[in-house]
Structure 1
Amino acid sequence: MKKREIIQAVIIFLIAAFLVNSLIPFFTGSAQALIVLSGSMTPLVLPGDMIVAKSISPDELTVGDVVVFRGTGEKADSLVTHRIVNIQEGKKRVFQTKGDANEEIDDFKVPASDVVGKLTFVIPFAGHLPEASKNKNLFFLTVILPAGLIILDELKRIIKYSSPARARKSEREQNKVARRTSYVFNGVRLSALIFISGFVFTGIFLQNLGGNGPVVLEKEYKVENSGILPSVYVFTPDNPAQKFAIEHWYGVIPPANSTQVIAPENTPAKLSTVPYILPVFWITELAEISPYLPTAFGILLYVSVFTLLLSPFWCRKSGIRSHKKKILVHWLLAQSKRALNLE
């Protein structure tokens, strides 16, 4: 087995292992994919986002966790996604919750038995897909038409391989094409594309980087956005217990604007600001690790996507036969020049 084939096999194996590991909780029932319908948790989670809630023991939940639980009263038949703001200990734990976008704490308490799971991931806009599928034209273009093309292609293959002679002939032709075909990567173009896109996206993401890093919060702390895009800010106190003593510890700031954050005096924390082109949930989770990680992740993500979208610019299909033809043409031209004494 060639080195290239080994690398491809390893990559495929790693991707397959990741997918299996991600999907197992859904098959075992320990994780659920849910669609957000209300805006009570904006901007962390927006209406139309798809969230993943993973089952967890109520004893492991702490203040600040975002949980999915069964509603009460008029919302008894629905699930609610809110943040835990207080925990009452006793024979059974009881949680007080609040939506990040709501002014008041929920007027009910959530028993541990009603907790479905903890929010672990957000897929932006994925919840709009079921609604989009109800559009007949869109459904035709995205489902019916591709399915029809696949069926026609399969029928063509069935007819093509209907006789043994045709099958052998087709297989020989495919083997010849496979031997002649290869992919050529233009390293100069790829490097230039990565450099240019990296420069552009770095410029976009670094517009607010100056204020990132350790800060000491006073009673009122002003966070500014001097960029041309909305920005997301996240405060991560050195003492995690102080996070929810900070009023609006994360938020979105419009371009050329600012916001006041109220916090206990002399609260050491880390500030992370990044343009609002990543989901807020992702930014808050990454900022917990490092205030600079959302910026680095955003640059890497957008450069990778941009480079892949422009893959025809730096990767092309090439064949041995066409290469031989080029050599033959060059040789014939050289012989012609010599014959005409042009060299």
Structure 2
Amino acid sequence: MKLRAVILLLLISPFFLFLPHIGNLMPMVVLSGSMEPLFNPGDMVILEEINGSQVSVGDVVAFHPPNSKPGTFVTHRVIEIVHQNGTAFIRTKGDNNEDPDGFLTPVENVRGRVIFSIPYLGYLTKYNSNRKIRMLVYLAFTLLPGIGLVLSELPNLIYYSPRLDSLLSKLSAYHSRRRERIIWKRFLLVSLGLLVLFTFLLRPQVSAMDGKLVNSGSMDVVVLTEGVKDYEVLHPGDEFEGQYTLVLGKVLPVLWIVKLYEINPFILRVLNIAMATWGALLLHPLWLSVEPKFKLVRRRNKYALRRL
């Protein structure tokens, strides 16, 4: 297997965590800021379908509120399970709201539990109310790549000749015989640089003052707790009072940090190494050499192969 194929496999390997749930997943776009900073308006959250008996206090669930229009769903945190007349209800609250929701929801109305989020992906959907942003996104992801593809192939169509066809065949043959080689000095330099960077970003600049945790740095930090709401985000200068299990810099989306901690707390303790490794793989063109390299060049409307 070629090195590029191995690198690609390693880059997508984190998504293998979702394979056991793939048949029960559904997307939903966040429209309000009631759950900030866990996820934000414009994010797309991924739900795992569950039934009412699987709901627990602390879960962030999407549900159909009672007496609301069909197709209306709210994504809030379950803060209490209430039993009335043999029926189970959930009391919910948005993390960014001061008060709980003013209604109880039957557990049968729960559609799914939030397990992942993709920042800003909701802007690609019809639910984005800002038409200008939606149009810019569509242009960036559809029209501009199409124009680029047409422009890259246009010279080949205009100046096509049997000689060009022969050169393209030779170029394809050369590419099939290319060898990949790791430039170890560059690889170690890139890896070490990223390790230092992510270690600095993830290391929280906090101090203890009068029994309180104070964010004395210039970046937001995430405090993981053991309460119903299992996290707090401290902006520079903010304080936190209470029991906590781990503090780290807010480099990833808050929901990702919370879910990684649920999978295994050790992951967050070596997150700088994991992110540096993933970043180094992503930057593989800097340290992976492919030889020989040939490029098709055009001079005075004539094509030739040039070795780089």
Smaller-chain TM-score bracket: 0.7 to 0.9
Q: Does 1:112 align with 2:107?
A: yes
CA distance in 2, matches of 1:229, 1:119: 26
User: Given that residues 71 and 77 in structure 1 are in contact (C-alpha distance below 8 angstroms), is that contact kept between their aligned partners in structure 2?
Assistant: no
Q: Which runs of 5+ in 1 are unaligned?
A: 212-219, 237-242, 262-268, 322-343
Structure 1: distance between partners of 2:157 and 2:148: 14
Cα pair distance change 1:191/1:18, threshold 3 Å? same
CA shift digits 1:51-108 (9 cap, x unpaired): 0111112111111111100134456542101111222345442211111222222111
Conserved? CA contact 1:283–1:294, under 8 Å: yes
Equivalent residue number for residue 235 of structure 1: 225
What is the distance in 2 between the residues matched to 1:232 and 1:278?
10
- Aligned partner of 2:239 among 255, 258, 269: 258
**1:287 has 2:235 as partner:** no
Opposite residue 193 of structure 2, the aligned amino acid is I
Cα distance in 2 for partners of 1:222, 1:287 equals 23
| 1:184-223 matched pairs, under 5 angstroms | 184-208=181-205, 222-223=212-213
RMSD of aligned residue pairs (Cα, Å)? 3.9
The aligned length equals 288
Match for residue 62 of structure 1 among 56, 77, 91: 56
| Superposition deviation, residue 206 in structure 1 | 2.2
Shift of 1:10: 11
2:247 maps to amino acid: T
Tell me if the contact between 2:81 and 2:91 (Cα under 8 Å) persists in the aligned partners: yes
Identity of aligned residues (%): 29
Larger Rg: 1
Q: Scaled by the length of structure 1, what TM-score is found? A: 0.68
Flag the structure with more relative contact order, 1 or 2, with Cα contacts below 8 A and sequence separation at least 6: 2
Contact map agreement 1:209 1:274 (CA 8 A) in 2: no
Structure 2 letter corresponding to 1:115: V
- Residue-by-residue CA offset, 1:195-221 (whole Å, 9 max, x unaligned): 12212221232235898xxxxxxxx95
Residue 143 (structure 1) aligns with: 142
Cα distance between partner residues in 2 of 1:292 and 1:110 = 36
Q: 2: distance between equivalents of 1:312 and 1:86?
A: 51
State the shift of 1:288 in Å: 3.3
1:45 matched to 2:44? no
Structure 1 residues 102 and 34: CA distance shift in structure 2, 3 A: same
In 2: Cα distance, 1:253 partner to 1:290 partner: 23
Q: Which residue of 2 aligns with 1:316?
A: 289
- Displacement of 1:184 in angstroms is 3.0
Per-residue deviation, 1:32: 1.5
Q: How many angstroms apart in 2 are the aligned matches of 1:176 and 1:228?
A: 52
Give 1:35 deviation, angstroms: 0.9
For 1:251, give the aligned amino acid.
E
| Unaligned runs of at least 5 residues, structure 2 | 295-308
Q: CA deviation at 1:41?
A: 1.4
> What letter matches 2:197 in structure 1?
V
